Amino acid sequence: MFNEELLTALPGIQSTSSFEDGGEWLTVYTTDWLHLAKKLRKHPDLLFDYLFCLTCVDWKTHLTMVYHLSSTVHRHNIVVKSKLDRDNPEIESVSHIWKTAEFHEREVFELFGVNFLHHPDLRNLILPEDWERYPLRKDYEDPVNMIKL
């Protein structure tokens, strides 16, 4: 039910996004993400103002950005996913829409190598500045600091 409400509230998005089973998942093309994010934040029936989790998953063939959003007004949740190219991952930053995204995107940038376009300050946050390669990718091997058990 919620999906249908959402679809009618987001004209122009249906053609490029698809709902998956389970109800609360929404997949969107990378190019539409910024447009959708603004809609999700501003539309009076949606008002997703609380970004509580932002992360990335490495699927070996591609990366997937995962955004967990909720609304403090309507108390509903949604998860938006976007598929990224693994060799050249790029997506628009949403740090000007949800300010917490600035930190979360920096974390994803250093651990997965995702380039967030128009991010105000994209630098390493947790890792040292000269760290090479991306630790949370599946093909990452570190012979010195072994973490595989």
What is the largest distance, in Å, between two alpha-carbon atoms of the chain?
Answer: 53
**What is the closest distance, in whole angstroms, from the C-beta atom of residue 12 to another protein in the complex?**
26
Residue 54: CB minimum distance to another protein, A: 9
The C-alpha angle 129, 136, 133, rounded to 5 degrees, equals: 45
Nearer to another protein, 12 or 120 (CB): 120
Q: Closer to another protein by CB, 115 or 124: give it.
A: 124
CA distances from 8 to 13, 16, 46, 131 (A): 9, 14, 11, 45
Q: Which of 15, 61 has the CB closer to another protein?
A: 61
Report in angstroms how near the CB of residue 33 gets to another protein at its nearest. 18
Least separation in angstroms between CB 11 and another protein: 26
Identify which of residues 11 and 129 has a Cβ nearer to another protein in the complex.
129
The owner of tokens 């090479």 is 132
- Answer whether 99's CB lies under 8 Å from 122's CB: no
User: Using CB under 8 A as the criterion, which residues of the chain lie in contact with another protein when the complex forms?
Assistant: 49-53, 55, 57-58, 66, 68, 72, 75, 79, 98-100, 102-104, 125-128, 135-136, 140, 147-149
